[in-house]
Amino acid sequence: MKLELSIIAKLEWNSLIPEDPYESYAPKYRTIGPPSIEKVGPFLERPALVTFTSPGGLVSLVIRRVEVMPLVILFGQQPKVIPLPYSPRAVSARSDGAWVLEGTTLTHYDVSGNIVKSIAIDVLGAQLIGVTDNSVWVVSRGQAQFIDAEGHARTPYQWKNSPRSPVNLMQDSICWLTYELERICCLDPNGSEQVIPPPVPQRVGGILSAIVKNNLITTGLFNRYFYYRSDGKTFQLNVITAGLTTSGEPFISFTKKDGRQSWIYLLTNGTIRQFPDVLQIVGVDQDRTLAYSRDRAIWYKGTELESSFIVGSSNFREQIFPYIWNSWGAWGLFFEPTITSDGTIILSTTGSSGLAVIGLCWTP
């Protein structure tokens, strides 16, 4: 298995986005017995980042507590923040700005934040899917509506699937897996559906994400990625966290079972370290690794335990908060698995040095 990391974009706190940490609580940690109803904290938490891809580029939303902040971030040659008068429902990047959805109004903003056009749509959209030539689909649980780059809307079409399943695989069409038929179904702007067989022989599960050189990639719950190779072999990658080390290098942690034993692995700077799967890895300081969950923390030096301690509000601020990276956002509520057309997994994360978008290339 080959894993390569890269920093796609980075934005320092308080340059365009305020860090503005807030207090939150977490369930009390318990290793034996039923889950505890007690809570620990309050702990400091930073806003979370959620990134979406399209042929037009990358665009992000920022989540603070459980609310979407009234802005979007465009990641071009330089990050650009567009303030909004409302919290957006969904976004999609254009080569010349962004599509932003609020209620039943779809608005095209240019890169300077000016409104180019607003369109009343007929679908109460849950998702925007950008396709070629800056066109976009507004998708709900039962309907999908195509809007071209100039803002001309087609009549909505009926379709059957969950609101987060379709992706752009073929030009200006959206595609999704039909599990009962084990086929890929694509809907074009004229309302015509095309059903094609997957390019792999094995049964496919998860949410369709990308087809790369006749290999198929899907995503599952809790940040699981599935790679279906055209030779019939299937691989799984469970990414747990992502962030930047104190020296600015990207890192990820992922889990893997070795027989009955589960391990957590840290990848950074081209090397992999193995740790017991006890706590989540949340920060890396040179050759030291911080693992943390709720009210417990461990520092490793290399792969050896250096220290372990109970975490409370006061020492969290001093010993955890300066190192922790949050790639889940509000305890997992807003994590959005995203994969580009070339198979690069997009991981959004926030930490002490700012907001970052990390690219993960995975070749089983």
Into how many domains does the chain fold?
A: 1
Q: Is the pLDDT confidence value at 208 over 90?
A: no
Q: Which of 55-59, 64-68, 152-156, 179-183 is least confident?
A: 179-183
The predicted model gives 66-85 an average pLDDT of: 93
Q: Which of 122-126, 162-166, 203-207 has the highest mean pLDDT?
A: 203-207
**Structural domain boundaries, residue 161:** 2-19+41-363
What is residue 30's predicted lDDT score, i.e. its pLDDT?
44
The predicted model gives 44-64 an average pLDDT of: 93
256 vs 22: which has the higher pLDDT: 22
pLDDT 10s digits, 176-191: 888 776 788 899 999 9
pLDDT 10s digits, 144-157: 999 999 999 999 99
The model carries a pTM of 0.91
Asked if residue 202 is part of any domain, the answer here is yes
Binned at pLDDT 50, 70 and 90, residue 33 comes out as very low
Using a pLDDT cut of 70, give the percent of the chain over it: 91
Binned at pLDDT 50, 70 and 90, residue 341 comes out as confident
Asked if residue 344 is part of any domain, the answer here is yes
Asked if residue 243 is part of any domain, the answer here is yes
What is residue 135's predicted lDDT score, i.e. its pLDDT?
98
What is residue 124's predicted lDDT score, i.e. its pLDDT?
81
What is residue 31's predicted lDDT score, i.e. its pLDDT?
44
52 SS3 class? strand
Rounded distance between C-alpha atoms, residue 327 and residue 332, angstroms: 8
CA quadruple 29, 47, 302, 363: dihedral sign: positive
Asked if residue 33 is part of any domain, the answer here is no
The predicted model gives 32-54 an average pLDDT of: 75
Rounded distance between C-alpha atoms, residue 232 and residue 250, angstroms: 32
Asked if residue 197 is part of any domain, the answer here is yes
Rounded distance between C-alpha atoms, residue 183 and residue 200, angstroms: 11
Q: What is the CATH number of the domain that holds 105?
A: 2.130.10
Asked if residue 28 is part of any domain, the answer here is no
Asked if residue 24 is part of any domain, the answer here is no
pLDDT 10s digits, 127-145: 899 999 999 999 988 899 9
Asked if residue 30 is part of any domain, the answer here is no
| DSSP 8-class letter at 17 | B
Report the DSSP beta bridge partners of residue 364. Answer: none
pLDDT 10s digits, 227-245: 999 999 999 999 999 999 9
Q: Quote the mean pLDDT of the chain.
A: 88
Report the DSSP beta bridge partners of residue 193. Answer: 187
Helices (H), ranges, the chain: 313-315
Q: Is the pLDDT confidence value at 312 over 90?
A: no
Helices (H), ranges, 133-176: none
